[in-house]
Amino acid sequence: MQWNVYLSGEIHTGWRRQVTDGVRQADLPVTFSGPITDHDASDGCGVQILGEEADPFWRDHKAAKINAIRNRTLIQTADVVVVRFGEKYRQWNAAFDAGYAAALGKPIITLHALEHTHALKEVDSSALAVAETPQQVVQILAYVTRGSPIS
Amino acid sequence: MQWNVYLSGEIHTGWRRQVTDGVRQADLPVTFSGPITDHDASDGCGVQILGEEADPFWRDHKAAKINAIRNRTLIQTADVVVVRFGEKYRQWNAAFDAGYAAALGKPIITLHALEHTHALKEVDSSALAVAETPQQVVQILAYVTRGSPIS
Amino acid sequence: MQWNVYLSGEIHTGWRRQVTDGVRQADLPVTFSGPITDHDASDGCGVQILGEEADPFWRDHKAAKINAIRNRTLIQTADVVVVRFGEKYRQWNAAFDAGYAAALGKPIITLHALEHTHALKEVDSSALAVAETPQQVVQILAYVTRGSPIS
Amino acid sequence: MQWNVYLSGEIHTGWRRQVTDGVRQADLPVTFSGPITDHDASDGCGVQILGEEADPFWRDHKAAKINAIRNRTLIQTADVVVVRFGEKYRQWNAAFDAGYAAALGKPIITLHALEHTHALKEVDSSALAVAETPQQVVQILAYVTRGSPIS
Amino acid sequence: MQWNVYLSGEIHTGWRRQVTDGVRQADLPVTFSGPITDHDASDGCGVQILGEEADPFWRDHKAAKINAIRNRTLIQTADVVVVRFGEKYRQWNAAFDAGYAAALGKPIITLHALEHTHALKEVDSSALAVAETPQQVVQILAYVTRGSPIS
Amino acid sequence: MQWNVYLSGEIHTGWRRQVTDGVRQADLPVTFSGPITDHDASDGCGVQILGEEADPFWRDHKAAKINAIRNRTLIQTADVVVVRFGEKYRQWNAAFDAGYAAALGKPIITLHALEHTHALKEVDSSALAVAETPQQVVQILAYVTRGSPIS
Amino acid sequence: MQWNVYLSGEIHTGWRRQVTDGVRQADLPVTFSGPITDHDASDGCGVQILGEEADPFWRDHKAAKINAIRNRTLIQTADVVVVRFGEKYRQWNAAFDAGYAAALGKPIITLHALEHTHALKEVDSSALAVAETPQQVVQILAYVTRGSPIS
Amino acid sequence: MQWNVYLSGEIHTGWRRQVTDGVRQADLPVTFSGPITDHDASDGCGVQILGEEADPFWRDHKAAKINAIRNRTLIQTADVVVVRFGEKYRQWNAAFDAGYAAALGKPIITLHALEHTHALKEVDSSALAVAETPQQVVQILAYVTRGSPIS
């Protein structure tokens, strides 16, 4: 079985690269998907494609909905959803994705620093694994897909 | 029809009271539910009932899961989910609830100040109404349940 | 069993009254629901409650979404959905409701003049009954709920 | 991921060709499906295959149901549903398809001229994007599938 | 809990009366529903309400669909479905109801003479009990709802 | 799209061959599945594999359940279900399959002689096409999959 | 809200009584259901109602299926499922109920001695609370339904 | 059709090998999946990947949840679930898997010695076949996938 893994959340550090590189090196049967991580494209796609908006609310609204075409579809087709919470910003979209995945019954792996444990307790309690490093995510995927962590 | 409305999110201001008072004064056919809003009880229920934990992670974990027995059940039985984002804290649980409700197809009303518009664009894009005041939430419930806003 | 019947579609003639009066006179175990039929309230609820919009598109958008809180919820809880197509306007919302109900597996009764048969063939083909008069709808509900049409 | 996109609605102009040509030129990972667009075949398939009907209602009924075998199946397997409303005819089947797709949770893109905004407000409010030109639909598919609109 | 039990199948003998009488005498918490058992009304409801048909096929079609409004709804709300196969006729509707209930995951009790065992093996294999007499159905309902068969 | 079509029902005439030959000659994108049509294997598989039974009821029961592993799985994965009723036997399993497919929302094509119209009215009313000959089934599949009947 | 709680598992000690007594004393809005706990009735109901069986396998089979009419229905309608594992017997039915409830997304509370922790790790990992005493179950229900444990 | 078969349960004997060897020799269209059967890896994966735990409960908890990422996903994608109960240990996870598969409507084949018939009656009653030997499982898969047992 080829596993589809959706990488949700923070887009400002290189964690996605670390996870995908680790999986490639270990040659695991995993295909990745995720949101568009080009921040300007993601914020501007609504007005860029469908026309300008005077009100910032509707500008954001049009962008968020176009992104939702992508993201909800990919979460629905994922076998595992990894949700990353970083150090900055409020990242409500990451928590939203976790709730969305939880209601669909998708296995969730959260990835965040120990210091956010208390603030993320509801999210973590819906996860099947709580990781602190991208390497741990790779190890989990290695175990889950072939039974042996990477040595 | 009696409408079940779940009031999710921020527990530090009186917004729930304002919504429920407004609905009671308008005599609307609405029943409310929501999380336990006693902050200490909510944080401590796990170890208080099931035994102490040395590691704060598991202390939180046990509490969050007991709260999930309540919260996920009530969201599942709700007709409408109102999600409030306040000024303080990260409130990832509110965004989680919104994602959870969205995947279940529940109508969502978000309630937050204008300044959070950009950070909440993904959450707002899944909502059927974005309110700034508890009074607007009452007005929406009045319109939805009997067709006329409160004068 | 008390039957919940949602009356969707055209709001400019008295067909809802004719159906509900007929059902009341026959003392059938049927409860009715439907959209807000006050046309101005229905069109204006968005900006009246949540604030004015310069762009007519967003004005309509906010209203349509608030109405969706009501309508989708009531269709989901209905046992039978009656969809009425009248003589005027495009009535795309009526056909939308029919499609929505069809995908949910709800029994559909359409109500329209014979002249719309060809234009409504896709909608009618998803219905369990195609009526031309409100009296026929009452007769169907009488038969379905107690086995005998009204004499 | 290969995306399945269903093109619903108006069959009298070349919009489907414009969308599919644009997508092919941009080499996007998209496969299209849609209803049979040969108008005579679509109207006549019922009696042509299953035998003549004296009553036009049943003639239409048999055709609409055979078309439903195709259309509902393809909508159910689609990742995105595009619904086009043109200038002529009542196009209740397009609105029906939109409602059907909405209840299934499919991402919807509507495509219509600005002048239909008010009449289509309920349909548009269920969509994740409202486009006015086939080129915009292509741009959305380009963004959704690879993150960059076509320059 | 009040149990809803749907009594499907043969309408020419008094088995429904035997089951409901037995349940009433035992004072079990059971409510019954079922199809319209007035054979002429059931066959004629289509043309009687919606207008005559020249072709017997469409006459039956209109009747069967109106009956489906009732029967599918009641099966969907039933907790247990009892399906009776009698001595006469082909009773394909009874087997259809059994298949319909099976796909919905409803507990099925079949009721038929031993001689039909081989012909009904597929239907019986989807049932949780295979009874030969109405009294056995009453006993099962007594056991299931309060734990003790009727002495 | 490759269409999966399940051929249910009567196993004593060559109708399956006629349908599959017609589809092959027309080179349609259709894959067929169906029950095991070797009558002795189908009846005997239970005791042949899992051990003899003294009671004919259990002999049938074991066989019917093993067949159900195959048949329910294939119906669930089918895009279209064709159900054939022949001249002989009670064929309750065919009607059961039709009910099962109907509850799953599968498009159904029934195939039977005109004389069974009245007895099959409930089954036919759940179908999207009612055919009398295997050739008509082929024509429907040709139209549904590529838009043109076979000339 | 009135909460429905299903009490699954071991039937040889008084834990059900302890839970229900505790809930009654605390006057919680909880209604209980569960399997038939009369061991002889539960084992014998199949042959007692539907006729003797020579083979013990079929004797058990008939009983287990009649019990399934009750138990699966009640688990499906439960808001919370408590699963008790005792000191004796293999209790595979308790673990089966836990898996059944887990796949339905029901909140699970397990109740067992510490010594079974390792053997029950898969079951416990699907639970939202793992209790060691009936009093803890009462406390959880008190917290979940009204926010305050019993003092 | 390629059939996905999940092999659940006991990991201490060679039954999986016997089933997969038999299927390979018969060249059946079957792909197998199952839990990680390396006992130490399965028990230790939690702490090995995510960090040590002082409390054995949490050590087991972390492992069981990581295994659940694999096992629940594979059961959900399986067409048939085989559940093996051996001679030793309590094997509550096997019964849990059976309950999980039953609630998902998966066809279940149980595999165990005759002596466990009474203890497994609830589990067996949810199965479509009850086998005593791996060879019987192979025979069932041969019959189900191509209609003829292996001679």
- Beta carbons within 8 Å of C15's beta carbon, 6+ residues apart: C84, C111, C134
What is chain E's pLDDT, residue by residue, as a tens digit (151 residues)? 999 999 999 998 999 999 999 999 999 999 999 999 999 999 999 999 999 999 999 999 999 999 999 999 999 999 999 999 998 878 999 999 999 999 999 999 999 999 999 999 999 999 999 999 999 999 999 999 998 766 5
Check if the beta carbon of residue E142 is closer than 8 Å to that of residue E149: yes
Query: Which residue, B93, B102, G84, G136, is CA-closest to A125?
Result: B93
Contact residues, chain B, for C62 at CB < 8 Å: 129
- pLDDT digit string, tens, across residues H101-121: 999 999 999 999 999 999 999
> Are G64 and H121 inside 8 Å of each other by CB?
yes
Contact residues, chain E, for F86 at CB < 8 Å: none
Output the pLDDT for position B98. 98
Contact residues, chain A, for D145 at CB < 8 Å: 70
Output the pLDDT for position C149. 64
Q: What is the pTM of this model?
A: 0.97
SS (HEC) of A52-88: CCCCHHHHHHHHHHHHHHHHHHHHHHCCEEEEECCCC
- pLDDT digit string, tens, across residues F16-51: 999 999 999 999 999 999 999 999 999 999 999 999
* β pairing state of E80-84 and E3-9: parallel
Contact residues, chain C, for D117 at CB < 8 Å: 56-57, 60
Output the pLDDT for position D111. 98
Confirm or reject contact between G27 and chain F (CB < 8 A): no
> Are C66 and B129 inside 8 Å of each other by CB?
yes
Output the pLDDT for position G57. 97
pLDDT bin (cut points 50, 70, 90) of residue D148 is: confident
Q: Both tokens of residue G50?
A: 């539907």
- pLDDT digit string, tens, across residues G112-145: 999 999 999 999 999 999 999 999 999 999 999 9
Element (H, E) at G99: helix G92-103
Amino acid (1-letter code) at residue E15 = W
Output the pLDDT for position C56. 96
Residue G55 pLDDT greater than 90, yes or no: yes
Check residue C83 and report its DSSP letter: E
Confirm or reject contact between H48 and chain A (CB < 8 A): yes
Residue A27 pLDDT greater than 80, yes or no: yes
Output the pLDDT for position F150. 65
Give pLDDT < 70 ranges for chain C.
149-151
Output the pLDDT for position D151. 59
pLDDT bin (cut points 50, 70, 90) of residue A89 is: confident
Query: Which residue, E147, E149, E121, is CA-closest to E135?
Result: E149
The owner of tokens 């762009």 is C55
**In H114-136, which positions are buried (b, 16+ CB within 10 angstroms) versus exposed (e)?**
eebbebbbbbbbbbbbbbeebeb
Query: Which residue, G73, G83, G48, G84, is CA-closest to G63?
Result: G48
Give G54 to chain F, closest Cα distance, Å: 9
- pLDDT digit string, tens, across residues H11-21: 989 999 999 99
- pLDDT digit string, tens, across residues F84-105: 999 887 899 999 999 999 999 9
Give G117 to chain E, closest Cα distance, Å: 32
Residue of A nearest to C52 (CA): A55
- pLDDT digit string, tens, across residues B108-140: 999 999 999 999 999 999 999 999 999 999 999
Q: Both tokens of residue A3?
A: 């596993």
Q: Both tokens of residue C41?
A: 């309230």
The yes-or-no reply on C/G contact (3 CB pairs or more, < 8 Å) is no
Query: Which residue, D76, H136, H138, G70, is CA-closest to F49?
Result: H136
> Are F144 and D66 inside 8 Å of each other by CB?
yes
Output the pLDDT for position C147. 85
Output the pLDDT for position F149. 63
Query: Which residue, B31, B144, B81, is CA-closest to C65?
Result: B144
Output the pLDDT for position B137. 98
The yes-or-no reply on A/C contact (3 CB pairs or more, < 8 Å) is yes
Amino acid (1-letter code) at residue E11 = I
Output the pLDDT for position B88. 80
Output the pLDDT for position C89. 75
Contact residues, chain D, for A61 at CB < 8 Å: none
- Beta carbons within 8 Å of D3's beta carbon, 6+ residues apart: A73, D28, D29, D30, D31, D79, D80, D141, D144, D145
Output the pLDDT for position H50. 97
* β pairing state of E129-131 and B129-131: unpaired
Distance CA B126, CA A68 (A): 9
CB-based burial label for G78 (10 Å; 0-12, 13-18, 19+)? buried
CA distances from residue E95 to E84, E99, E121, E135, F120 in whole angstroms, order as listed: 9, 6, 11, 22, 11
CB count, 10 Å around CB of G17?
10
Distance CA G53, CA D81 (A): 57
Residue H150 pLDDT greater than 70, yes or no: no
Check if the beta carbon of residue D148 is closer than 8 Å to that of residue D138: no
Neighbours of chain D (3+ CB pairs under 8 A): A, C, E, F
Its ipTM equals: 0.96
Check if the beta carbon of residue E13 is closer than 8 Å to that of residue E85: no
| Closest partner CB to G66 (pick from E1, E3, E128) | E128
Confirm or reject contact between E68 and chain C (CB < 8 A): yes
Distance CA H131, CA D101 (A): 44
Contact residues, chain B, for G126 at CB < 8 Å: none
The DSSP-derived string for A19-40 is HHHHHHHTT-SEEEE-----HH
Distance CA H67, CA H62 (A): 9
Residue A149 pLDDT greater than 80, yes or no: no
The owner of tokens 């270990």 is A26
Q: Both tokens of residue E50?
A: 């919606």
Query: Which residue, F81, F50, F76, is CA-closest to F65?
Result: F50
| Closest partner CB to H128 (pick from F37, F49, F65) | F65
Check if the beta carbon of residue F66 is closer than 8 Å to that of residue H129: yes
Residue A80 pLDDT greater than 80, yes or no: yes
pLDDT bin (cut points 50, 70, 90) of residue A150 is: low
> Are G102 and H97 inside 8 Å of each other by CB?
no
Confirm or reject contact between E103 and chain F (CB < 8 A): yes
Cα D117–chain centre separation: 18
> What is the residue-averaged pLDDT of chain E?
95
Amino acid (1-letter code) at residue A74 = L
Give F48 to chain D, closest Cα distance, Å: 39
Residue of H nearest to G71 (CA): H122
CB contacts < 8 Å between A and H, how many? 50
Neighbours of chain H (3+ CB pairs under 8 A): A, B, F, G
Residue B17 pLDDT greater than 70, yes or no: yes
> Are B68 and G128 inside 8 Å of each other by CB?
yes
Q: In what order do the strands lie in the sheet with F30-33?
A: F30-33, F3-9, F80-84, F108-111, F129-131
Percentage of residues in chain F with pLDDT exceeding 70?
Answer: 98
> What is the residue-averaged pLDDT of chain F?
95
